[in-house]
Each structure stands twice: as structure tokens, then as C-alpha cells.
Amino acid sequence: MVSKQENAILTGVGAGTPMGELMRRYWIPAAMSSEVEADGSPLRLMLLGERLVAFRDSNGEVGILDHHCPHRNASLFFGRNEQGGLRCLYHGWKFGVDGQCLDMANVPPHQDFKSKIKAKSYRTIERNGLIWTYMGQDEPPALPSIEATMVPASKVTFNWMQRECNWLQVLEGDLDTSHTDFLHGGARTVQSFAPDDPRRFGAANRAPEYEIEESEWGTMYGAFRPADPGETYWRVAHFMFPFWTITPSGPFGRHLYARAWVPMDDTHTMAMRIIGNAGKVAPGGSGIVTGLDDLMPNTTDWYGRFRPNTNAENDYLIDREVQRTKTFSGIPGIAAEDQAVTESMDAITDRSTEHLAPSDRMIAITRRRLLEAAEAIAQGAKAPGRDGSIYAGARGGYFIAPNGGSLTDAYRDAFGKTAPMNLALT
């Protein structure tokens, strides 16, 4: 439980809010490279409560600008993307990817002051199929070396889906492994899994214990339960500043996977799944679920990208007969199940009315770290995890280890034995 005041701090992402300022200290995945073509249509982009346009110029460079033209505020979304810049439809002013005004077409040359005009713009970098932007005013750090984002674009799969609620309540679903064997797997039994699939231990015991540690990049948990005699079944996951998770949903070492819960505004979130080794997992051996992309066609609306067909209006297509006889939820698919429960908590859930259990310790500790980091920023201190290279130390997944070791021991050991980057690249 947190107070109403702390809840407001955790959930507000606009410019000038404590959490909004914290998030503006990190590179943010904004769009897929494939969403903007050279000299193609500009893309409406809602990020941290700001209305932006993204476009790719004739040289292939990507610009992200405030959507209001600095002349008299017409939307640059309607602009012409032509020959090295975006030209506003209203009076023909043209802007480069850095926001610099390149042409003031309605002003005689001797009255021209284009060198003094810059549209509000944010830095961009592209890497492996993702467009990243930095929305802070200070010097940005290096891009985070999150393993799944280091995989070449030709090997990576993106599954994105919009959620109509605040970023933190959807992120917290990833820090809560115990829901997996209810919401997603409540009807599964030990016999649902192959005899050598470690997930059978989750079906046998739906109430794991947890170890939680603070890490350089955020927080980490290991949920543990008995496996075969002398062994423990671990599920390890991470929260990484400011809005990343790696869930334990695949076999450790074969699970190149990350999720960014990117706030569009306080009540809309772009859930980005980045899968670095799709197709490389053994049949039945992975928690990666395909076929989640039951999405409406994209529109150009501010909220028009990657909307699922399941939504509050159609009760997420819950089928009560299926719920009674086949699955625990009756809702079609893991993504829709998560969507239904997290959106049903209200657009911004009131955490002051919760009753947290030991299974929620990871959530409680992560909230505290976020509050501390937001407070530190407000005091002028450095944001945690600004060194992009440390993220390479985070990997999630499930594995079996001998009894008796701590989370740190078990994690280090499992990490040392596996090389998922090589798996992805071969």
C-alpha cells in the first residue's frame, strides 16, 4: 500500500512531475523503425503526455518534433515530408530532423529569420529496428544494453499493444509471478507439461516464496519452490529503470526478452515486447506465446496504434462456458487476460486501498525505489541506472538449481552457464 500522495507521484508522467522528470533521464523506445519511411507520412506519437510527430527525412534520419509548428501552432502532422525536412501546410515553413527551421517560405528573403527558429525537438537514435528518443534537457547517457535490444533487427520480433490504463499497474503485473498459475494457467495441471518441463513445478505448487534484491539497474526477484529432491525451481525476473521488465516466462538462457511499459500519458501505455530469439525456442519449452497480435488496424489517431480487439466495451471477449470448462479465465489469450485485469483496476488504480501480501514484496520494493529515484532527481541527484552498460547484467527466466543457494548464487551460476546472444545470432 502507498499513500494517495505517493500514488500520484508514481503515476504522473507529464513534464514537471517527479516521475515524468525521472523518465526524461533515460532513452525511451518511441516507435519501430518500420513505422516511418524516408519522405513518408509523419507519425502521430504520444509520449509522456506530449503530442509529437515522428518523420524520416530524405537521408533516412528520424526527427521527433512537438506537433505544433513554432510559427502559429498548426499541427506538423499534416506537414509535407519533402526533400530533407517537414514543411508545415499552413505557411510553408520547413523544419529539419533537429527542429531547425530551414525555410521560411512566406517571408521575403530580407525579412527572413529562419536561423533563429527551432521547433521543439528531441534527440533520436536508431538501433536494431527501434527508434529511441531522449526527452530530457541534459546530456543523455548511452543507450541501455538490454540483451533483447542488442539483437539485430532481422532476428528480433516486436509485439506491441496499447493498454488503456496507467503504466505502473501494467508493469506491476510482470513483478508478480504468482498470478501466472491462476490468471493464465489456473486450469493447467502437472500433466499439462512434458515430464522434463520445469514449469510443472509451478502447476504443482501455486504459492511460491520469494527472494528480492536491489540491483544496479533496479530490482530483481527469484520466486522459488521445490523441484525434484535436492533441487529448487527458480523463476527470476527484473525491473529496470525507468519502465522495463524482463519476465521469467521462458527458459533462462534461451529467453532473450524484454518489455518496456512506455507511458503515452497517465492513462495510456504502449506495452512493447521485444523478443530476441523468436523461433529459436524448443517446442513446448518456452513461455513465449505467439498469436497475441489480435489487433485492430492502426489509425492515425493519437491513440490509434496497436489497439487490441479485446477491450472494456466487449468485456475482453470473456466466454463463461470456456471459463467453466476449459481455462481459468475464459478470456482468449495471455495478453488479453493481463489487459482485462489491469485495465479493470481503473485507469489509474488507487493503491491506498490495497492489501499487499508477501507475494507482492517485489512490487512494494520497486515502488519504493521509484519514489526514492524521483525524490533524488527533484533534489538534483543523478538518476539510478544511467550507465547503459549495466543493463547487460539482467536476464530473466526459469531454471533448476541445487537446494540451499541464495538468489544471488543461483542467478550468478545460471548467468555464467548460458550465452543467449550466441543462440540468437547463430
Which residues contribute to the site for Fe ion (CB under 5 A)? 338
Query: CA 13, 19, 25, 29 torsion: positive or negative?
Result: negative
Residue nearest to Fe ion (CB): 338
Task: Tell me how far, at minimum, the Cβ of 173 lies from Fe ion, in Å.
Answer: 5
Distance CA 347, CA 72 (A): 34
| Partner interacting with residue 233 (select from ligand FES, Fe ion, none; CB below 5-8 Å by kind) | none
Distance CA 399, CA 403 (A): 12
Q: Which helix (H) or strand (E) holds 5?
A: helix 4-11
Grid-cell match 541464495, residue found: 406
Q: Smaller CB distance to ligand FES: residue 95 or 193? A: 95
| Partner interacting with residue 415 (select from Fe ion, ligand FES, none; CB below 5-8 Å by kind) | none
Enumerate residues 6+ apart whose C-beta is below 8 A from 111: none
Helical segments of 143-234, H only: 167-173, 200-204
Distance CA 144, CA 28 (A): 10
Task: Tell me how far, at minimum, the Cβ of 98 lies from ligand FES, in Å.
Answer: 17
Q: Smaller CB distance to ligand FES: residue 31 or 69? A: 69
Binding mask 92-131 for ligand FES (x = CB under 6 A): -x--------------------------------------
* Residue 215 identity (one-letter amino acid): S
Task: Tell me how far, at minimum, the Cβ of 66 lies from ligand FES, in Å.
Answer: 12
Enumerate residues 6+ apart whose C-beta is below 8 A from 155: 276, 277, 424, 425
Instruction: Enumerate residues 60-99 that contact ligand FES by CB under 6 A.
Output: 69, 71-72, 74, 88, 90-91, 93
- CB of 375 within 8 A of CB of 367? no
Q: Smaller CB distance to ligand FES: residue 69 or 341? A: 69
Distance CA 39, CA 83 (A): 7
Task: Tell me how far, at minimum, the Cβ of 261 lies from ligand FES, in Å.
Answer: 34
Q: Smaller CB distance to Fe ion: residue 349 or 418? A: 349
* Residue 1 identity (one-letter amino acid): M
Task: Tell me how far, at minimum, the Cβ of 247 lies from Fe ion, in Å.
Answer: 8
* Residue ranges that bind ligand FES, judged by CB under 6 A: 69, 71-72, 74, 88, 90-91, 93
